[in-house]
Amino acid sequence: ARHCRELSSTSSGEVLQLLPRLVRNLVRGDLAILVERQRGELSVVSRDGNALHRMQAAITLTVEDVLEAGAPRLVAPVAGVGQPPRAAEAGEGGPLAGAPILGAGIEAVVLVLRLPPKDPMDHRDLDNVMVLATVASSTLRRAQTRKKGKDAIRKEIAVLEGVEDGVVVLDPEGRVRALNARAAKMAGIGRRDAVGYRLSEVPPLTDLGSALADGRDTASLPDCRAQVRWTRVDGGTVVT
């Protein structure tokens, strides 16, 4: 739980750097690496620990296997040099475990290697690796969603600034998503005073919120009585 909390509270730019250390610590591995595939080429993004690279071929094949399957893999001991790795069967342990980073706009795998004399990893270790990989994926997706939301708001504001009337955009939950400079001036507030809040939580806009709730076509603002029109769009509301 501690590892999950640490990972979920990390900024998106640091998630891929932190993940190998947490994975290695959790399953007592000798080496943990995060490998990304871009344009068909594999590259190591981050690593934690030191170990011999005698399993380089097995690591490469495991990364490709995990990416193609979109599922975690526990690799059974390699029988000999040149032998391809195989998935460990139920009850069988192995020295190498990998899990994909899914749905975060990247193709990546976190792998952990545990060498003798330590005991081979088992499927419980694989589950732990997958949990951390899932948390990392979720953290990256949240960051992407926030970025898309901010980009959308910036575009909305750019459009709204071309409107002479005051305009307030509410999200589906009734919170202010954006407002143009004219609306902010009429209310005597800055954008930061309103964005993210319900109209009832912003004193200069409380009567506007009441007008929407009551179906009135006028609302009192600090310096004027304003005509109110609203339109439902994608579950939200545009108020002018």
| Residue carrying structure tokens 């600090």 | 222
Please determine, for residue 237, whether its predicted confidence score (pLDDT) is greater than 80. Answer: no
Choose among 43, 26, 59, 58: nearest CA to 126: 26
CA distance 238 to 176: 10
> pLDDT (tens digit, 9 = 90+) per residue, 127-137?
888 888 888 88
Q: What is the mean pLDDT of residues 98-118?
A: 84
* Residue 201 pLDDT: 92
The amino acid present at 44, given as its one-letter code, is V
With a pLDDT cut of 70, the percent of the chain lying above it is 78
**pLDDT in the model for residue 179:** 84
Of 52, 34, 50, the residue nearest 42 (C-alpha): 34
> Average pLDDT over the chain, rounded to whole?
80
Concatenated DSSP letters of 162-183: T-SS--EEE-TTSBEEEE-HHH
Q: What is the mean pLDDT of residues 72-77?
A: 79
Query: What pLDDT, in 10s, does the model give residues 159-191?
Result: 666 677 888 888 888 888 888 888 888 889 988
From CA 17, how far away is CA 95, in angstroms rounded?
22
Of 218 and 155, which is predicted with more confidence? Answer: 218
Which residue, 101, 187, 183, 186, is CA-closest to 143?
A: 101
Q: What digits encode the pLDDT tens for the residues 10-67? A: 777 788 888 889 889 888 988 899 998 888 888 888 889 876 555 677 778 888 888 8
Local confidence band at 81 (pLDDT 50, 70, 90 cut-offs): very low
Q: Check residues 55 and 144 and name the one with the higher pLDDT.
A: 144
User: Does the CA dihedral 158-159-165-171 come out positive or negative?
Assistant: negative
| 74: DSSP letter | E
Question: In Å, how far are 50, 84, 101, 222 from 77, measured between CA atoms?
Answer: 19, 10, 24, 74
Residue 79 has pLDDT above 60, yes or no: no
Q: Residue 223 pLDDT more than 80? A: no
Contact 140, 11 (CB under 8 A): no
